[in-house]
Amino acid sequence: MFDFFKKRRREGVTREPFPDAWLGYVRGNVSHFAVLSEAERAQLLDDLRIFRAEKSWEGAGGLTLTDEITVTISTLACLLTLGLPERDDYFRGVSTIIVYPAGYRVTETRLANPVGVLETGHSWRLGEAWRGGPVILSWADARAGGRGTAEGSNVVLHEFAHKLDMEDGNAEGTPVLYSDAQYDEWHRVMSRAYDRLRGRLWWKYRGMDGDLVLDPYGATDAAEFFAVATEAFFERPRALRRRWRDLYAVLKDYYRQDPAARVIGYLRRMHHSERPHWFGE
């Protein structure tokens, strides 16, 4: 009975014509939209409306929420699930999205030394994903990531990748996969890639390595590695496929999307002068 009413409610959400202003926000703030097929665009526009309608939105730090903010963030979150089976049922653990105007300061307690002494301090953040709780985002950074002006980072993709990781209740760098064989391949490739990133940081910090493609923050732990790898998969797909081929392959199998092929096909179709500022390297 619940599924029946949910389906009816969602059909009502997507039945109305898509607002012209919202389409302007998607085109202006989500550079990935340009490289999608017509079918993918239509699906994404439906998905984002359902997502936006079913979440609770809160402005923080003096931010007044607007349609531009909620539509942009919804589009980027739904980009992750565009190829996933039963895509409308992902992010069940996200009931609330809290948006600050920019980076925000939090107070945290942490270990000051190995003997267990605690200290309280402050840190600046661009986003957070709480297990069983909200997603918190900086609007300035969400917009920059969506427009492709954040040097390959995308805070919305990063934090919602954490939420996909948490679908089984854990945050360990492994989302819910489709088969035992896929779990085996995932752990083999991700573990090797994580160790490779950690090893290359030694050379990077000594000026002896070039572009890592992956944000060094991914070397923090397995959960952050998955979130960082997801950012690179969508934001720098050609570079990731070129330099981290096995990693790209397992992410392609999981997300059931091929961003590198999308970008290449798009660039072949478009004249140079018509290309957007984002190339999805």
Strands 96-100 and 104-111: unpaired
| More confident position, 64 or 270 | 64
What is the helix (H) or strand (E) element at residue 121, kind and residue range? strand 118-125
| Domains of the chain, CATH where assigned | 1-158 (1.10.472.150), 172-281 (3.40.390.10)
Average pLDDT for 201-216: 74
pLDDT digits (tens, 9 = 90+) for 144-203: 999 999 889 999 999 999 999 999 988 999 999 999 999 999 999 999 999 999 988 866
259: amino acid identity, one letter? P
What percentage of the chain carries pLDDT values higher than 70?
86
Instruction: Convert 92-121 to b/e letters by CB count within 10 Å (16 or more is b).
Output: ebbeebbbbeeebeeeeeeeeeeeeeeeee
Burial (CB count within 10 angstroms: exposed 0-12, middle 13-18, buried 19+), residue 17: exposed
Mean predicted lDDT score pLDDT of the chain? 88
Q: What is the DSSP string of 13-46?
A: HHHSPPPHHHHHHHHHH-GGGGGS-HHHHHHHHH
Q: What is the pLDDT of residue 103?
A: 78
Q: Is the pLDDT of residue 119 over 80?
A: no
Maximum C-alpha span of the chain:
62
Q: What is the DSSP string of 174-213?
A: ----S-HHHHHHHHHHHHHHHHHHHHHHHHHTTT-----S
Residues 186/154, Cβ–Cβ less than 8 Å: no
Q: Is the pLDDT of residue 277 over 90?
A: no
Q: What is the pLDDT of residue 83?
A: 96
Provide the whole-model pTM: 0.89
Which ranges of the chain does DSSP label H, i.e. alpha helix? Answer: 2-15, 20-29, 38-54, 67-80, 139-147, 155-165, 180-204, 222-235, 237-243, 245-255, 259-269
Both tokens of 161, joined, read 């990748």
Q: What is the pLDDT of residue 118?
A: 47
Band (124; pLDDT cuts 50, 70, 90): confident
Return the minimum-mean-pLDDT range out of 88-92, 94-98, 199-203. Answer: 199-203
Average pLDDT for 86-91: 80
pLDDT digits (tens, 9 = 90+) for 38-59: 999 999 999 999 999 999 999 9
